[in-house]
Structure 1
Amino acid sequence: MKFSLLGNIIDFLFPRYCAICDERLLGTEEMLCATCLQDLPITPTWEAPYENNMAKMFWGRIPIEKSVALFYYHSHSNPSYIIYKLKYHHRPDTGNYLGRLIASKGIESDFFKDIDAIIPIPITKSRRKTRGYNQSEEIARGIQERTHLPIITDAIRRVTFTESQTQKDRWQRLENVKHVFQLSDTYHDKDGKHPITDLAGKHLLIVDDVCTTGATLISCCEELQKAGKMKFSIATIGWAAE
């Protein structure tokens, strides 16, 4: 009772709002109100992570194992607003929250049991300076909180901006992101507690915010393979399935 009363007082003094509908959050609601959380268009990729339409996008391109996305992404749809806030409204906390949702879904299905480490898709130094953080790293941290997998942030870097992918078809997108990533000479996780000095032979989870054609993810994995033979799984918040 005391805790509930204290929580009500804190909510009254410091109101919290849903990251999708902007309605006031109540009680134990976190980041999303109960309605918006329930209405998330969760993808069925979790039911068959090895063989689903998202995973098939990568077949024959990279040594893919599993591929999942939290929810279907459609521009200007209600669920898309939380991703907009993550990327354009300085809300890194939404990335951590969404990462924890991914982790919860994955833990239920043993998705993470054979994965060695997480690599978030990098952004350029100038983009990081403008945004203040890498949204994919924030998602990865949320996943790490519940899985305790190491995060590797310096194995690969993004060296150039690309033209907007919006009006490009699948093959134009693949061409557009060629050579934008560069493999680094050293590899270790961000906090230094779980050093991984050799990527060869590892099963890496590549994390990004949205998967559309998979072009960026493929380009990143192709560059990582210069470090040796390895396999990949992919997890994103949104999937823009056609």
Structure 2
Amino acid sequence: MKICVAQTKPVTGNITANIKNHLALIELAISKSAKVIVFPELSLTGYEPSLAKSIATKKEDVRLKVFQNISDSKKITIGVGMPLKASKGVTISMLIFQPKQPSQVYSKGHLHADELPYFISGDNSLMLQLNSQKIALAICYEISIPEHSEKAFQNEAEIYIASVAKFKSGINKAKTELANIAKRYSINVLMANSIGMADRAECAGKTAAWNKNGEMICELDEVNEGLLIFDTTTQTTEKYLL
């Protein structure tokens, strides 16, 4: 099975423009026979905590139906980042669209201190299962919480996908953490990161994949949008820059 992580350059707060960009990358992933594609943290709005309350939406937002339609027609699982309204605030969430299934939500359960004024913790218990393979999800800061990856291991995850918005100041630490997770639990790890400006800082890109020994096997650059595709059967990777 081919699993894809996308590297995007969000247009700040412009959901319509970002949906268009996502669809182009999804079509590219489909053309390369990917069965799963996961986008960076808050990919549909950009990582902008101060704007999140004003642009947050519900998972039933009609603008998002296009992802369910393409999932149904092309038989691909899609994970996109979006701030979602909850009863007591706004969550940093990933909407999951799978063929002929109701959409699901994975929300960031462990928040960084800087995020607490803008977001609330959400339900991060969702795990994907495709072709008998279990895929654990993580959103950014969660990769630094040992209990998060330990839970994924206890739940027999074979793949760990981190959707992040890492700046240049923090990318090396994130890469070390993800390499350690791969080695500690002997699982494949993928990371989807953004490029461009977000929250007054520059995102670092460097979307990457690690093997079960914790060795990086593929990495995108820091300036181009693109895709990294990992084949779970052959343990090989492909990358495509836009």
The TM-score, its normalising length taken from structure 1, stands at 0.35
Rg: which structure is higher? 1
Normalized per residue, the structure richer in strand is 2
